[in-house]
Structure 1
Amino acid sequence: MLNPNIKVVFFDIDGTLLGLKSKVIPDSTVEALALLKAKGIKIIISTGRSYEHAKFLAPYGFDGFITFNGSYCVDGGGQSFFRHTIDVDDIQLLYDHLTTIESFPVGVMTTEGSFISDITDDVTATFKLLKLEVPHAKPFVSALETEVLQLNLFVDENKELHLINNVLRNCESSRWCPEFIDVNARGISKQIGMEQFFARYGLTAAEAMAFGDGGNDIQMLRTAGIGIAMANAGDNVKAAADFVTDTTEENGIWNALTRYEII
């Protein structure tokens, strides 16, 4: 297979860089990242996580971080250069819904940190599974007093549909974890984050490769010149990809990069 002119590779974290089961980066992926850097190919994180929960990867030499599904972009030096917040009217409508109709845990990601409205057993179990620290509890009303980059709603798919159609009408949702959804301002996606880096580094989508496994990776995989879905991805994610590789634990990133002769 001819080596395409790839100059940047975007990586999701959970289920992609980190094994879905192992929750660690395999040695083969560490070696692949080093080889990409040695060839002058930029490597960029693209995640639904906050920067605070993603920057542990900085020592691997990443050239930037797309966080909050494209709402907040940070360069390799840790400086933010793009952010897009949720409309305050939507935050007010969600507050009204939570206080008058039904209550459920809501994670709130702001420009100054994160908190969660209620810490339930499900919340604790989910963060333990993801090996993330549970944010501190704080009443959701506090979200009305700050800029919100992303929300995590602990709801099922039926409630998700109702809330996006009737409450958070200036937002859209994606799901990479069965227990909760990510909610971002409408039009925001990992694709938007990619475009910020294309402009910053003078690159094009055709020069990009991307790896992902969740619903929030679909637009990223479609945007990249080569989109790679992990074997653990859902069928809708695989359908958006150019190639389906092995799981992270089975050296999926290494295998795809060598298959396309990138390394």
Structure 2
Amino acid sequence: MKVIFFDIDGTLVPLEGYISDSTKEAIARAKEKGNKIFLCSGRSRTQLVGPVKELPYDGIVAAAGACIEIGGEVVYESVVAKEEEEKFLRLFENEDVSFGVQTKDGIYTTKRGYEKTRERFLQAGCDLEQMEENIALFHVVDDLRNLGPVEKLFYNRSNFTIDYVKEYLGDYFHVELSSFDIHDKYSGEITVEGVNKATGMEYVLKHYGLTQADSVAFGDGPNDLDMLSYANLGIAMGNAIADAKEAADYVTDDIYHDGIYNAMKKFEII
């Protein structure tokens, strides 16, 4: 038995918002052969909408490793210390940008952040129906403080480079380029240092009594590098960023040309 971990955006789902028939077939056949299927994403659990929620997955590594769900039950959650969260809020609350916090129960942003997020989806050419479904998941609040345990922080198209944000926030946090705006050094995703997709994978494997040797991962973006490096077989999509391809063991075809199906056939997973 293998545990196969799939990033969502750019790996399972393109901007157009669908999952190809070949990918659905590959996942179904892999599961029929006794493998475990896990989504491994920067998204929160509540963002598993559209075609993703129809996949036969066994669990989720959500919020870039900060929340793990197995069999419908949350079994692990990493939360940000309040004083550290405050540093993030002070940095961005007076900026005209999209920023917010993710909890296991939802995504929270300000009214201005909501407007900026919607604008960002439109500019990226996202499928309108999927965009509206995703945007509807954002809770708009006046103050992002005291919303319960926070797993992950995010900001998009700010006035600060990722290097500046890293220096400002300090060693407590791990700051990664945004998996959505992958060519934008002014957008980022933030978790507690030492929490990432790879640590989430390790937790899942131990849960099943398995080891790193029993893992396969598919990814394409900045927050997939640890995942692709950690997996016994890390597979980058043909549309992946250069760093993801470098971290992977194999580069398959892109998301529009049956990349997942072709790789799973090549390595006899299906």
The TM-score, its normalising length taken from structure 2, stands at 0.87
The TM-score, its normalising length taken from structure 1, stands at 0.89
Q: What's 2:97 paired with?
A: 104
**Residues 218 and 228 of structure 2 are in contact (CA less than 8 Å); yes or no, is this contact kept in structure 1?**
yes
Tell me the matched-pair count.
254
**Residues 85 and 147 of structure 1 are in contact (CA less than 8 Å); yes or no, is this contact kept in structure 2?**
yes
Mapped to 2, the partners of 1:30 and 1:64 lie a distance apart of 16
Mapped to 2, the partners of 1:55 and 1:42 lie a distance apart of 20
Mapped to 2, the partners of 1:168 and 1:113 lie a distance apart of 26
Q: CA RMSD in A?
A: 2.1
Letter of the 1:7 counterpart? K
Which one is further off, 232-241 or 121-130?
121-130
Pick closer, same or farther for the CA change 1:47–1:145 going to 2, 3 Å.
closer
Which one is further off, 233-242 or 116-125?
116-125
Q: What's 2:218 paired with?
A: 211
Q: What's 2:54 paired with?
A: 59
**Residues 90 and 168 of structure 1 are in contact (CA less than 8 Å); yes or no, is this contact kept in structure 2?**
no
**Residues 93 and 168 of structure 1 are in contact (CA less than 8 Å); yes or no, is this contact kept in structure 2?**
no
1:211 is paired with a residue whose SS is strand
Measured after TM superposition, the shift of residue 22 of structure 1 is: 3.3
Q: What's 2:167 paired with?
A: 165
Q: What's 1:226 paired with?
A: 233
Mapped to 2, the partners of 1:94 and 1:259 lie a distance apart of 44
1:250 is paired with a residue whose SS is coil
Mapped to 2, the partners of 1:242 and 1:136 lie a distance apart of 39
Measured after TM superposition, the shift of residue 252 of structure 1 is: 0.2
2:235 is paired with a residue whose SS is strand
Pick closer, same or farther for the CA change 1:157–1:260 going to 2, 3 Å.
farther
Matches within 5 A, 1:236-247: 236-247=243-254
Mapped to 2, the partners of 1:46 and 1:145 lie a distance apart of 24
2:91 is paired with a residue whose SS is helix
Measured after TM superposition, the shift of residue 248 of structure 1 is: 1.6
Q: What's 2:80 paired with?
A: 86
Which one is further off, 166-175 or 125-134?
125-134
More RCO (CA 8 Å, sep 6+): 1
Identity rate of aligned residues, in percent?
Answer: 31
**Residues 149 and 184 of structure 1 are in contact (CA less than 8 Å); yes or no, is this contact kept in structure 2?**
yes
Q: Residue deviations 1:176-215, cap 9 Å, x none?
A: 1216321111111001110111111111111111000011
**Residues 92 and 144 of structure 1 are in contact (CA less than 8 Å); yes or no, is this contact kept in structure 2?**
no
Matches within 5 A, 1:103-142: 103-117=96-110, 118-119=112-113, 122-128=116-122, 129=126, 131-132=130-131, 133-134=134-135, 135-139=138-142, 141-142=143-144
Measured after TM superposition, the shift of residue 21 of structure 1 is: 4.3
5+ long unaligned stretches in structure 1? 1-5
**Residues 40 and 61 of structure 2 are in contact (CA less than 8 Å); yes or no, is this contact kept in structure 1?**
yes
Q: What's 2:200 paired with?
A: 193
5+ long unaligned stretches in structure 2? none
Measured after TM superposition, the shift of residue 144 of structure 1 is: 3.9
Is 1:69 matched up with 2:64? yes
Q: Residue deviations 1:112-165, cap 9 Å, x none?
A: 3221122365421334527342213213x3334521111111135953221221
**Residues 92 and 99 of structure 2 are in contact (CA less than 8 Å); yes or no, is this contact kept in structure 1?**
no
- Structure 1 segments of 4 or more deviating over 6 A? none
Pick closer, same or farther for the CA change 1:157–1:46 going to 2, 3 Å.
farther
Matches within 5 A, 1:40-55: 40-54=34-48
**Residues 97 and 116 of structure 2 are in contact (CA less than 8 Å); yes or no, is this contact kept in structure 1?**
no
**Residues 46 and 105 of structure 2 are in contact (CA less than 8 Å); yes or no, is this contact kept in structure 1?**
no
**Residues 97 and 158 of structure 2 are in contact (CA less than 8 Å); yes or no, is this contact kept in structure 1?**
no
Q: What's 1:31 paired with?
A: 25
